[in-house]
Every structure is written in C-alpha cells, then in structure tokens.
A and B are shown apart, each in its own frame.
Chain A
Amino acid sequence: MDLLLDAVVIGVLLGCFYAAVSIGLSVSFGLLDVPHVAHPAFLVLAAYLVFFINEHYGIDPLVAGLIITPLFFVFGLAAYRLYYETFERRGSDAGVRGIAFFFGVAFIIEVLIILQFGVDQRSVTAAYIGKSWRIGDMRIPYRMLVAFGVAMALTLLLTLYLSKTYMGRAIRAVAQDQEALRLMGANPIRVKQWAFGIATAVLGLAGALLIIVAPIDPTLDRAYIGRTFCVVVMAGLGSMSGTLVAAVILGVAESIVLTMFGASWAPAIAFAMLLGVLAVRPQGLFGRRS
C-alpha cells in the first residue's frame, strides 16, 4: 500500500514534469496544427545549452534556462518561417510533408549535438539535485519539486497569456478561422509565427528541467515523442490546463507500472494511452473540437 502511495505521489510530480516539457507542443501542435515532431529535439537541444552554460559559467540550470528563453523565442520564429515558406503555404497536403520536414530537423539537431557534445550522458549540478525531502517513510527528491513548481508557473502563465491578451486570443482564434481573423486586421501567418516562437521559448525552462530531473544524451528526444504527443492529444488539442491534467495522468500511470511491473514497461505506457485516447475519445479529455 505504501508502495502504491509512493508511486502515486512520485507519479504526480513526474506528470508535472511531463506537462512542462509538453506545453509548448500544446501550442504548436494543439493550437496551430503544426506537426512539430521536432519538439522533443528542440527540448534536448535546450537541455544541452543549459548544460553548457552550467558547466562553463557555473550558473544555476534554471537561470540558464531563462537565459536561453529569448534565444529560443527567436529560434522558434525562424523555424516557423522556414516551415511556412517551404511547406505550409503550398496547401493542403502540407501536413504529411511537414512531418518529414520536422523529422529531418530533429535528426539534424541530434547529429549537431553529437558532434558538439559527444554521445556520453551529461548532467548538471545544483543544490537541489540529489537531495530528498523526507516525510515519514516517503522520500521526495527536491528536483521533482522544482519540476512541479516550474510546470505550475508555465501552465498558469500560458493560460493567462492566451486568455487575457489580444495576441493570445488571436492565437486561439487562428486555428478556428484564419480568414475571419484576417478580417479582424490580424495577419494569421504572423500570429502563428509569434505563437510558434512562444511554444519554442517555453522550452528554455523545460530543457532545464529535463537535465535537472535526469542525465541527458543526444537521442533522448526519441523517448519524448510518444510522451509529449500522448499528453497533448489526451489533453484535447490546445488546452493548457488540460495538458497539465493529462500529463499527471500519464505520470501516475507510468509511475505505477514502473513500481508494479518494472522499468522496461514504462516507455510503452505513453503509446498505449495515445492509441487508447485516439480510439475512445479522439477529441481528448478537454477537446476543442466537437
């Protein structure tokens, strides 16, 4: 019983971490319909930059994540522009070819990381890594609490941004009716580009979490394709609070399976849940499409 409670608590925290690494995809794929399979590769790239800053300058990984956030915003703007010019503007079959484009980008990033940092695992140092908080028999690693806090902050900030600002409302509107948005005097392409910039910018902190939670290697992105897409699809495309709930469900499920059946089963959970959601409730738990 204690073991199960342990698994659930750790699972909730793990889920919050998954929310933090998925929420950008909730904007780019969920709201903009961009088949952004390179999202996890961007995430791993951010984690390596955090590693680099941490190792060379001794800066705290979270601060390093904040430092690269504006850089990633610009990177996102450029990536969307390239995708738009080469694929999206050509029309309706852009989706499938778009996936090929982003797979290509993901592989290029992987190779660049290997060339620059090698294939060895990398990790960062910070005061909260490696220590735990004891409550009774339970031990909660501080690094998971950091993930929890950052996930909450990101979800709250994005939810507020999307509902309280003119640009945020336009981002939610652009997936619903582009031409109508043009009649409001907004340029849908520029709105989508901006949104993609934001979706990429939040990877600064998410990448910091990735390397705070566990050591990273250049191919780690592959393990996160299933997880991030599972979370975003389960959430119902484009729902930020839904992303948090869906990520927690995935985290708890993975954690319980890990405890009960062993580590080798855990990676299959995300794909199983993804297939389950697509079969039973394709609009997701908090779906925007009816």
Chain B
Amino acid sequence: MALSLAISGLDAGYGAVKALRGVSLHVEAGETVALLGTNGNGKSTLMKCVAGLVRPQRGSMSLTIDGVAHDLTKLSTEAIVDLGVAMVPEGRRLFPKLTVLENLMLGAFRAAARREIERNLAVAFETFPVLKERKSQLAGTMSGGQQQMLAIARALMSSPRLLLVDEPSVGLSPLLVSQTITKIGELNQNLGLTVLMAEQNFNQAVRIASRGYIIVHGEIVVAANSVDELKGNDIVKRLYLGGIV
C-alpha cells in the first residue's frame, strides 16, 4: 500500500496570530514520525491542517495514495476521512454522555467505514480488551487512560491508513503515557498503520518513532532522519536533554 504525505511551505494561523510558518515535512508509508515541540509551538495546528479542520493560508499538502495525489488544502474533513486519514485529537475529545460502544460506532460514521464495522470493532476490542468489558459504560465516566484508549480505538473505526495522534500523553500518569505510546507503536507494527504523532514527551516519543521533526514557534527547526540523529542534535540537547546529557 503506497501512501505518502508531503507538506511544503505551510503557513497557517488564527486571525493575526501565525501558528505555522513555512512548515515542510513528509511521512512515508509504514513510518512512525514524531512531531516534537512544547506547548503552543504549532503542533496541534499542523495536525488540524492535515485533518482539514484548519485551512492553511499558504503552502501545499498532498496525500499520495497508490500513485494518485490528493490536494488536502482543498478537501473537507469528510473527504479526508474517506481517504483514510484519522485523527486522535488532543485531550481525547470523546462524547462523554455516549457509551463506549456508541463512541466507537460514531468513528465508523462514513459509509465505507460502516461496511467494515464488524471487522474494525473486532480489531478495536482485540487491541484494547478493556473497551469490550466496558462497552456499555458512559465514556465520560472512564479513567483518563481508558479514555485515551477509546479515543485511539475510535479513530481506528474508520479503517485509516494514516493515523494522526495529537499529544497522546496529555493528562496521563507516566506509567499510562508509556503504555499508550507502546500501544501506538503496536498499531504501526501490527496493523501497518502510518503514524504522525505530535508529542512533547521527547523520550517517550522517540521510543516508537523512526524519525522526527522539532517545531519551535511555528517553524521546523530540526528535521532528523533517524532517532539517533535526533538525539545527537544540539538544539534537541538544549531543549530536551539539557539535564540528562
């Protein structure tokens, strides 16, 4: 399955505030790419641009599937979901007053996903057995870790090929962060999902990433081709590993 996401010269913002300036990055099939940066540097805006929630002001974003290029800057979120892009939003954004099962079924809202619902539900329950046990529980009454599992499982319900994961570690204890990141790594390994993950926890993210980018004040300041290159970078040492190296 050939798939690649290429972003080039992307500007985006809210009114007078520029959140992204000339961002370029690419993600190839089967990779797990980390987008690293602390809060307020534009990670979420970039993820929202790819998902079609925020329209970029300039630049290009194209998703090539089996040799056919799709211009993401011109597509609605519905069309982007249909192309096989799913997003696990920051803060999970579940429907708290609906049950676990109802949340999952909403993940399969698109017509193509409805046809696959039996299979995808089985995959979701197999990957996250706790969700099967709690399928009739209201999503809002679950613990933070379980809610994060549900948010990821809900994204899997649309049969995605590219999974965007925005800040999976937010609001979770260190142990749960570690478990969540491991799960995302397994999705990449077992289901062959291509993953673009925005994260501020450097050490956790590089455990599963094949390479990564550092974004500061809306600009990509480091583009590293391997985790080792990332760890050896001076900016990274200064920003993240200052106390350790």
Q: Which positions in A face B, CB cutoff 8 Å?
A: 163, 166, 169-170, 172-173, 176-177, 179-187, 288, 290
Contact = CB atoms under 8 A, between A and B. Distances in A.
B107 to A, nearest CB: 6
Contact of B109 (A166, A176, A177): A166
B168 interface: no
A71 B140 CA distance: 38
The interface residues of chain A, by DSSP majority, are classed as helix
8 contacts: A166-B105, A169-B98, A170-B106, A173-B95, A183-B81, A183-B86, A185-B77, A185-B110
A288 B97 contact: yes
Nearest to A287: B97
Interface string B76-88: 1110011000110
B134 to A, nearest CB: 18
B109 A180 contact: no
Nearest to A172: B98
Nearest to B140: A290
B23 interface: no
A177 B93 contact: yes
Interface string B82-104: 10001101000111111000100
B53 interface: yes
Contacts of A169: 98, 102, 105-106
Interface in B100-155: 102, 105-110, 113-114, 140, 154-155
4 nearest A-B pairs in the assembled complex, by CB-CB distance: A185-B81, A180-B93, A185-B110, A173-B95
A176 B114 CA distance: 22
Contacts of A183: 51, 53, 77, 81, 86-87, 89, 93, 155
A172 B93 CA distance: 15
A17 B83 CA distance: 48
Contact of A180 (B86, B95, B97, B110): B95
Nearest to B77: A182
Given A176-B96, A177-B94, 17 more contacts: A166-B105, A166-B114, A169-B102, A170-B106, A172-B98, A173-B98, A176-B95, A179-B89, A180-B94, A180-B95, A182-B53, A182-B77, A183-B77, A184-B110, A184-B158, A187-B78, A288-B97
A230 to B, nearest CB: 23
Interface in B136-189: 140, 154-155, 158
A172 B155 CA distance: 19
